[in-house]
Structure 1
Amino acid sequence: MNPPSPTTIDVALGARSYPVWIGRGLLGDSARWRAMLRGRHVLVASNTTVAPLYLERVARGLDGLQWSSFLLDDGEAHKSFANVERALAALAGLGATRDACVIALGGGVVGDLAGFSAACWMRGIDFIQMPTTLLAMVDSSVGGKTGVNLPAGKNLVGAFHQPRAVVADIDTLATLPDREYRAGLAEVIKGAAIGDEPFFAWLEAHAGALAARDETAVVEAIARKLRYKAGVVARDETEQGERALLNLGHTFGHALETAGRYTTLLHGEGVAVGMLLAARLSERLGMAGAADTARLQRLLETTGLPAAVPAGFDPEQLLALMRLDKKNTAGTLRLILWRGIGRAEIVGGVAGEEVLAVLREAIASA
């Protein structure tokens, strides 16, 4: 029996609009996604964990084309310029022309690096996102942000380069470890915390079903998060204003990831802790009350996400890393804070002493 028709969300960007398909059996549904390929050259970028599970399924849809694969080792530490160079060498070896396509089969690291490599090759070729983690499905695969890390910080180099399509096959979640799955829930919670209080209440009511990976609840959560994000991206593609709100928790979270050398916290875990720190800073600045912070903490804990800074972090180092964040302007901290659940806003000129006080208190209680 064929799987049910996928849920489809359109990212409306004029001539560069593209579909997001969410459902079962989509990697094998090559009749759907192969129509997005415009040339005969395809590079499938993946990693050493995902490729043994799903590369063959995608390869069957590439019959008759000239294609090859490029594999990363698994983990955030491998989102580097050295691996971009390897990806570009693979495109050169394939003889890829300007109508070639890169397929990103994997999580956010694969998607970011593959998309950035596609943006660089011949000043920009097509790519298709095939996210295999919940976090990539609900966040990084949609919106066209691509990039790599530097030792100085995460995602400091990148490009806006929209995919031709996003193929979110939820069958891949069956092989996703529990910790990685929970990390994806952090980005779902983030979307609700930014601008959709009714969705936040829905997540509170369905936290058990989501933790148990109930298919109906998972598809609904992915679709609601992506409808919200697609609307924001359509209104502010290159993050000149509203789209910056999608970074709630990220300034704190990226600093934690970088300070932990990308081994202490997964990205979603960093976002979870970062959201809670942003909520506490909002409290400290008189923008929001403790009740909303408590609701956020309960939901994070109910879904198995961390709600505390791991031991061993240095608050001064974290603040220094936060000062490198891309949202900052003219040397001043510019953070995404909130006035309660569903009411996030961009706040400029935040005093470093206030941020440091929140970090010190969080680390002292770890």
Structure 2
Amino acid sequence: MLTVNVELKERRYPIYIGENLLKDPSVYPLKSGDKVMIVSNETIAPLYLDTVTKTLENIGCKVSNVLLPDGEKYKTLQSLDLIFTALLKENHGRDTTLIALGGGVIGDVAGYAAASYQRGIKFIQIPTTLLAQVDSSVGGKTAVNHPLGKNMIGAFYQPITVIVDTLTLNSLPKREVNAGLAEVIKYGAILDLAFFHWLEQHIDNLVALQQADLQYCISRCCQIKADVVARDETEKGDRALLNLGHTFGHAIETHLGYGNWLHGEAVAVGMMMAAALSEQLGNISKADVGRLEKLLARANLPTISPDTMQPEDYLPHMMRDKKVLAGKLRLVLLKTLGQAYVTTDMDKSLVLSAISACTQTD
């Protein structure tokens, strides 16, 4: 088992990474008599809910659960209300611990519920998708979507523990694994050129879910994110770098309807658009853009815009993105491969040109 610690000013919490951790009582910061509610969905619950429940009951916890529908389109205030209703019906109080068992949607919604219920209760992240394991479960961002924008309603609220059982990835559809690799590649592109080199050498093993490489990869991504979050928990500076490709990607997700493209698929195309804009500005070479494109393609990820979107479709969504400040568009771009920066109020004609460079032409 590998352990990465997230070090914050007032507190710290561990991320445990390994096999069969769902059955390991030592990784759960709970004791006999504790009240727990597990939030999961209709897809994950049949696979892992019994295992987690039995482990907690063996500790002596009093366990209940609530199941949400599966999918990004259910990352809504209505799903949040389902959790609140279940907590209230069963008389859960401030001493309850909420456990998010599932992918990024479950983690985000359950985390926001924990932040809000009785003004804050403890919660544990048990991410079961690669994207959630390397990104969304770490760092305390919680949110739900609104029809006019992704993740627009939420809070910064940290878990007390993250438990990453890498064997849960064996039950994922390949498309979900590939989507998670987009966030993995992002870390190398923005902050760690050596890790980007490592990914070029090991991406095929990651696609094949080779356990040793997978566990190293997840731990490295979590360490990079933990370091960034420790410096900037509420995204006033460095943490914004983690959004490479996301402003473009969120536009794709919002325009197509949540869930039609997976988050990682949209981010992959968004990273190519950010790279194209970086090249236009003279920051990175055409060869480096090609390296990024090749690595994404080897992870079976898209690198061009959906054929139902035109360049002009992007800007209205991008200008509603939560990273817009004082009406100015903020974008994460690349200085070099392995080093990113944030820029504000980029010339919209250049942005459109970069989007066009990643748009399929007949």
- Give me the TM-score of the superposition, normalised by structure 2: 0.97
Asked if the contact 1:112–1:148 (Cα under 8 Å) also holds between the matched residues in 2, the reply is: yes
Counterpart of 2:55 in structure 1 is: 61
Provide the secondary structure at the position in 2 that maps to 1:329.
coil
Structure 2: stretches of 5+ with no match in the other structure: none
1:38, distance to aligned residue in structure 2 (A): 9.2
- Decide which of 17, 20, 27 is 2:12's aligned counterpart: 17
SS for the counterpart of 1:43 is strand
Q: 1:316, CA displacement in angstroms? A: 2.2
Residue of structure 1 equivalent to 2:103 = 107
Query: Which deviates the most, 68-77 or 151-160?
Result: 68-77
Q: Cα deviation per residue 1:311-361 (whole Å; 9 max; x = unaligned)? A: 011322311100112222111111000112111000111122211222234
Match of 1:3 in 2: none
Identity of aligned residues (%): 49
> What TM-score results when the alignment is normalised by the length of structure 1?
0.95
1:159 counterpart letter in structure 2: A
Task: Give distance in 2, aligned partners of 1:304 and 1:362.
Answer: 17
Alignment of 1:18-57 (within 5 A): 18-33=13-28, 35-36=29-30, 40-57=34-51
Question: Are 2:92 and 1:96 aligned?
Answer: yes
Q: How far 1:18 moved relative to its partner?
A: 0.3
Partner of 2:346: 350
Provide the rounded CA distance (Å) in 2 between the counterparts of 1:168 and 1:194: 24
1:254 aligns with 2:255: no
Instruction: Give the aligned CA root-mean-square deviation in angstroms.
Output: 1.4
Q: Give the secondary-structure state (helix, strand or coil) at the position aligned to 1:350.
A: coil
Query: What is the correspondence of 1:1-366 to structure 2 with a 5 Å cutoff?
Result: 6-33=1-28, 35-36=29-30, 40-63=34-57, 64-365=60-361
Structure 1: gaps (5+ residues): 1-5
Q: Give 1:96 deviation, angstroms.
A: 1.1
Paired AA for residue 204 in structure 1? E
Matched-pair contact (CA < 8 Å) for 1:276–1:307: yes
Question: Residue type matched to 2:215 in 1?
Answer: V
Aligned length: 360
Q: In 1, distance between residues paired with 2:335 and 2:5?
A: 30
Q: Is the 8 A contact 1:105 1:111 kept in 2?
A: yes
Query: Using the alignment, how far apart are the partners of 1:263 and 1:112 within structure 2?
Result: 15
SS of the equivalent of 1:309 reads coil
Deviating above 6 A after TM superposition, structure 1's stretches of 4 or more consecutive aligned residues are none
Counterpart of 1:151, as a letter, is P
Question: Which secondary structure state, in structure 2, belongs to the residue aligned with residue 238 of structure 1?
Answer: coil
